[in-house]
Amino acid sequence: MTDKSVSGIYGILPADIETGDLLDRAEAALKGGVSTLQFRDKKRGYKRAIKRAKALRDLTRSYDARLIINDLVNLAVDADADGVHLGRDDVPNLIQLRNEVGDDFIIGVTCRADAAFAKAALNDGASYVSFGAVLATTTKPEVPEMGLPRLAKAREIFPDANLCAIGGITANNVAQVKLAGADCAAVISGLFAADDIQAEASLLTAIWNQT
């Protein structure tokens, strides 16, 4: 893939699960059609993380899907991932980072509901910005719900930017998230808490594609 934008269903893999489980869940989501997976692993050392990231790299490649690494730029580069996602408090000097990683590397930035922050991130080299929690979520209860009207407002402010929505997204509301203007829906529990992850990924993807 050469296009740097993220689109469709973007699965964020649960942190702190064992490698076998991680790869099984990743493969189920990929079989169901997710376009992108994000890997989060900041707790148990680089050696373990790079092994896991490389396994996910091979897997995502075999499904022609993207792999994004949460926060750890070195890990993303070493694993030959497609890019990195930076949390609001984890953004280094973006201009410098963009210079270091080059134009083809995806840099996603969490903006919560902050349009000014998003504008600065996009100016400084972010490939996509994520807004959320667009809907109420128990996964990260400390993040306030911004609501879909504010997502639609963000789309108005940034007509051409690659916008990702996150927070509380499930098969029951993903169509509204797309209609509000998101290019991409990032999902944790609405996908990975399902009994049948592949079926849930297929459902989310089908709804997305039909909306």
> Cβ(68)–Cβ(36) under 8 Å?
yes
Residue of 189, 198, 199, 206 that binds ligand TZP (CB under 6 A) = 189
- Considering the complex, state which of residue 139 and residue 198 has its C-beta at the smaller distance from ligand TZP: 139
Which span sits near ligand TZP by CB under 6 A: 101-109, 138-146, 155-163, 199-207?
138-146
Contact residues for Mg ion (CB under 5 A)?
71, 87, 90
Residue of 26, 166, 177, 194 that binds ligand TZP (CB under 6 A) = 166
176 binds ligand TZP (CB under 6 A): no
Residue of 11, 33, 132, 181 that binds ligand TZP (CB under 6 A) = 132
Question: Which ranges constitute the DSSP H helices of 68-166?
Answer: 73-78, 94-101, 115-124, 148-157
Please tell me whether 19 is known to bind a ligand. no
Q: How far is the CB of 195 from Mg ion (least distance, A)?
A: 28
What are 50-53's contacts with CB under 8 Å, separation 24+?
50/75, 50/78, 50/79, 51/19, 52/19, 52/22, 53/78, 53/79, 53/81
- Considering the complex, state which of residue 73 and residue 203 has its C-beta at the smaller distance from Mg ion: 73
> Cβ(184)–Cβ(148) under 8 Å?
no
Amino acid at position 9, single letter:
I
CA-closest candidate to residue 153, choices 121, 115, 127:
115
Which span sits near ligand TZP by CB under 6 A: 65-73, 113-121, 149-157, 163-171?
163-171
Per DSSP, the three-state class of 107 is strand
Rounded Cα gap, residues 155 and 2, in angstroms: 24
Please tell me whether 139 is known to bind a ligand. yes
Annotated binding site for Mg(2+): 71, 90
Known binding-site positions: 38-42, 70-71, 90, 110, 137-140, 168, 188-189
